[in-house]
Amino acid sequence: MEVTAQMVKDLRGMTGAGIMDCKEALREKDGDLEEAKRFLREKGLSSAAKKSGREASDGLVESEVNPDSRSGVLVEVNCETDFVAKTEDFKALVKSALRHVTENGGKSLPPNPGGEALQEKVAEAIAKLGENILISRGERYEIPDGQAGAVCSYIHPGGAVGVLVELRCASDGVAGQDAFAEMAKDLAMHIAASGPKYLSSDLVPESEIESERAILMAQSKDTGKPENIIAKIVDGRIKKYLKEVCLMDQPFVKDSDQTIQVLLEARSKELGEELEVFQFARFQRGELTAQEEAE
């Protein structure tokens, strides 16, 4: 069957694939548009498998918060270059990832069960854009019924860093105040800038503390100081380390004279209710790739 220019145009409109790929698919499937579309999808999956080993450390971190501020999602989608990250096709894939996490949660992302339809979109994007693309991670927060609070997000310009934070209080009246929303926004911006790993020191795994202690002890052995003095120095450095990695102990980026804990207590007093940072997520573009390389 002869493949006409209109048939190629129609298939390109349906799939976004290149002209030569569309011609090949139509010839292979005797002009059947649906079969040609399926052929291109299968070709995309094959292409995705070939490109899966290539480093994808660029891309975008993006968020979406419900208008009522009771739920929100954060995703990271990676590609190989910032050129592809700026394309409308890549941005459309990021939006699809946001919708998927909103509906199914972050643990459903491909290759986990539940993300098959989204993985097809990834394969199609790889076939069209010619780069390895992967949806690295996603998170969804939602204030449960009967609880008061807000979910807030912050995306650093360029999509390099994104934060999702859940701030809770005792009543919807306080949660609806501008001062409460401002506190949530301040927290999100602070987390983006300061990069805490944990909410508070009691959540830091003992194994991590002991690993840090072992490193500090090894570094201090060559100082010639007595063991008891070295132990005190290491204890002091461990305390400093915990202040660096724990949100509640970090100096507030807008006012380094007060910690986040002190700031939260002050805002709680102003609003007449205790405010609680329930949880937060911070995604830095390419961070997972860097960790994999280190391992």
Give the residue from 166, 118, 170, 177 showing the smallest Cα distance to 139: 166
Asked if domains 58-199+246-294 and 205-245 share a fold, the reply is no
pLDDT for 114 equals: 77
Q: Hey, where are the domains in the chain?
A: 5-48, 58-199+246-294, 205-245
Torsion-angle region of 149 (φ positive above 0: left; ψ -120 to 50: alpha; else: beta): left
How do strand 255-259 and strand 58-65 relate by DSSP bridges? unpaired
State yes or no: pLDDT of 179 exceeds 60. Answer: yes
pLDDT for 292 equals: 46
pLDDT for 224 equals: 74
Euclidean distance between CA atoms 281 and 252, whole angstroms:
18
Mean pLDDT within 25-53: 71
Token match 């008061």: residue?
Answer: 148
Lowest-pLDDT range of 41-50, 155-164, 234-243, 270-279: 41-50
Domain 5-48 sits in CATH 1.10.1370.30: no
Contact 63, 73 (CB under 8 A): yes
Question: Which secondary-structure segment (H or E) carries 280?
Answer: strand 276-284
pLDDT digits (tens, 9 = 90+) for 19-33: 777 888 888 888 888
Contact 26, 14 (CB under 8 A): no
Give the residue from 199, 198, 232 showing the smallest Cα distance to 213: 232
As given in the structure block, the two tokens for residue 202 are 């009691």
State yes or no: pLDDT of 293 exceeds 70. Answer: no
Interhelix angle 227-245/206-220, rounded to 10 degrees, is 130
Give the CA-trace dihedral at 125, 282, 162, 72, to 10 degrees. 80
Percent of the chain with pLDDT over 70: 91
CATH number of 205-245: 1.10.286.20
Euclidean distance between CA atoms 153 and 137, whole angstroms:
16
State yes or no: pLDDT of 136 exceeds 70. Answer: yes
In this prediction the pTM is 0.81
> C-alpha angle with apex 148: 144 to 152, nearest 5 degrees?
85
State yes or no: pLDDT of 50 exceeds 80. Answer: no
Q: Which amino acid is at 183?
A: M
pLDDT band at 127 (very low <50, low <70, confident <90, very high): confident
Contact 77, 134 (CB under 8 A): yes
CATH number of 58-199+246-294: 3.30.479.20
